[in-house]
Amino acid sequence: MKKIWLVIIGVVVLLGVLVLAGCSSEGTPSNGGNVNVALNSQQQGVWVNGEGKVTVVPDVAILTLGIESQESAVADAQTKASEAMDKVMQSLKAQGIADKDIQTQYFNISQITNWYDNKEEVTGYRVTNTVTIKVRDVEKAGTVIDAVVVAGGDMTRINGINFTVDEPAPYYVQARELAITHATAKAKELAEKTGIKLGKVTYITESSNNYGPIYRNYVMSDSALAVPAITTPVSIGQLEITATVQIAYEID
């Protein structure tokens, strides 16, 4: 009887070993060393992209301007720069620019050097003070530039201007709706041409591209006139706000 029981136990153990050998360590059946992986559901069905564009007239101008002073002594350079910037600030407020729409962007004091007999000598100092201005009455951008030039004189530096929209969100909504309409139309066309039936939407994603601002550069040379003969012409142009969507449908 003991021998019979030993034989039975041995068979059970052998069967257990064979079963375990046929499974992976995670309990997944082995199939010749290959693992069966289910396809991602997002890779199935009908996938389409749609784009929507909305053209907008800018309602805000962003000016980058400042003062640059150069003197042999750092104190003199800083004093002249401060006096000129004070005049610029007064001119901006006279044009209706609020304090909240004026922000210091850059301030720097640097040495001006020259090489003589293989030696670097300090010949002076340069003070640069740059601010960013938001002009909410976009039509006044040219007038504001002229006022700054008069106030700052030859130390004036107008580094650039760009136009934007103060409240772009509603335009992004319009662009997104157009993108969805475009994508839906493409999906229906594909279904009609291929003889399939669209099912429910299984995936959707959206991205709103930054609209392309319009830039203008203005640089005032040392020979700039103290009083401009005419108002600086500024072309506002248009902006394009774009939204893109990607939609996936099941196939019924």
- Over the stretch 80-126, which tens digit does the pLDDT of each residue have? 999 999 999 999 999 999 999 999 999 999 999 998 888 999 999 99
Cα–Cα distance for residue pair 89/162, rounded to 1 Å: 20
**In the Cβ-directed half-sphere of 203, how many Cα atoms lie within 13 Å?**
13
The 10 Å Cβ neighbour count of residue 140 is 17
**Residue 229 — φ and ψ, nearest 5°?**
-70, -35
DSSP E strand stretches across the chain = 46-56, 60-71, 102-116, 119-135, 156-164, 198-209, 214-216, 239-251
| pLDDT value for 43 | 64
**Average pLDDT over every residue of 163-188:** 95
**Average pLDDT over every residue of 189-207:** 93
Is the CB of residue 240 less than 8 Å from the CB of residue 54? Answer: yes
Asked if pLDDT for residue 183 goes beyond 80, the answer is yes
* Structure tokens, 46: 């009908």
Identify the helix (H) or strand (E) that includes residue 145. Answer: helix 141-152
Q: Is the pTM of this model over 0.75?
A: no
Cα–Cα distance for residue pair 42/183, rounded to 1 Å: 17
Asked if pLDDT for residue 38 goes beyond 60, the answer is no
Asked if pLDDT for residue 26 goes beyond 50, the answer is no
Topology (CATH) of 58-165+214-236: Alpha-Beta Plaits (3.30.70)
Residue 237 pLDDT grade (very low, low, confident, very high; cuts 50, 70, 90): confident
Is the CB of residue 30 less than 8 Å from the CB of residue 23? Answer: yes
Asked if pLDDT for residue 212 goes beyond 90, the answer is no
Helix (H, G, I), strand (E, B) or coil at 19: helix
Cα–Cα distance for residue pair 243/221, rounded to 1 Å: 41
Question: Which segment of 24-33, 138-147, 156-165 scores lowest on mean pLDDT?
Answer: 24-33
Cα–Cα distance for residue pair 162/101, rounded to 1 Å: 15
| pLDDT value for 141 | 93
Is the CB of residue 138 less than 8 Å from the CB of residue 213? Answer: no
| pLDDT value for 130 | 97
Cα–Cα distance for residue pair 243/141, rounded to 1 Å: 29
To which residue do tokens 């991602």 refer?
Answer: 40
Cα–Cα distance for residue pair 216/159, rounded to 1 Å: 9
**Residue 48 — φ and ψ, nearest 5°?**
-135, 155
| pLDDT value for 226 | 39
